[in-house]
Every structure is written in C-alpha cells, then in structure tokens.
Amino acid sequence: MRAEHCLAAPPRLSFRTHELPEGALEGLALIDLLAGREDVSSWVHEGRGLIGLGRVLVIEAAGADRIEALRAAWRAVVGAAWGRDALVRPGAG
C-alpha cells in the first residue's frame, strides 16, 4: 500500500494477545518457534518475550521525503488500529 493511501484511508488492523499455556512449548524455547520463518517479528529475552508471525501490511514510499511519508503513514495505521489485550501486562498488547 502506498504511504499516501494510508494517510487518506488507513486500514483498520486489529490484534489479540495470547498467553501460551504452561507446558505448551514442551521443552522448546520461545525462539524455536521462529525456525525456518521469514515473516516474523520478535523480541525474546531469557526465554520470554513476544512473537508476531505473518505480514498483513506493507507500506511503500519513494523519493526524498519517503522517510517522513512512511512515518506519517505508520502513525495513521497505528491510530486506526484496535486490539484486545487479555494479558493486561506492561508491554503486552
């Protein structure tokens, strides 16, 4: 999606947080879930953290003002997004 289109009509993205049940990884580290994937964003520290899998939006811009255009587009997308944070913990959601 072009950055200027995000500004005019930002997509309404949504998210939900989920806690893995105790024992769900069966001896695997959280980072092991990333093996072989290229569509991942993660922050993992000492076996704990968060992982996002998949891609729902790519914002594109060109030209000398592309960084500013991307910044503005990202803020518009985030501003239009909604989420459900069942964990209600700092850093979640």
Q: What is the pLDDT of residue 10?
A: 95
DSSP 29-68: -GGGGGTT-SSEEEEEETTEEEEEES-----B--STTHHH
Domain ranges of the chain: 3-85
Q: Is 25 helix (H, G, I), strand (E, B) or coil?
A: coil
Q: Phi, psi at residue 55, to the nearest 5°?
A: -140, 130
- pTM, whole model, 2 decimals? 0.66
Q: pLDDT digit string (tens) for 45-90?
A: 887 777 777 888 999 999 999 999 999 999 999 999 998 888 877 7
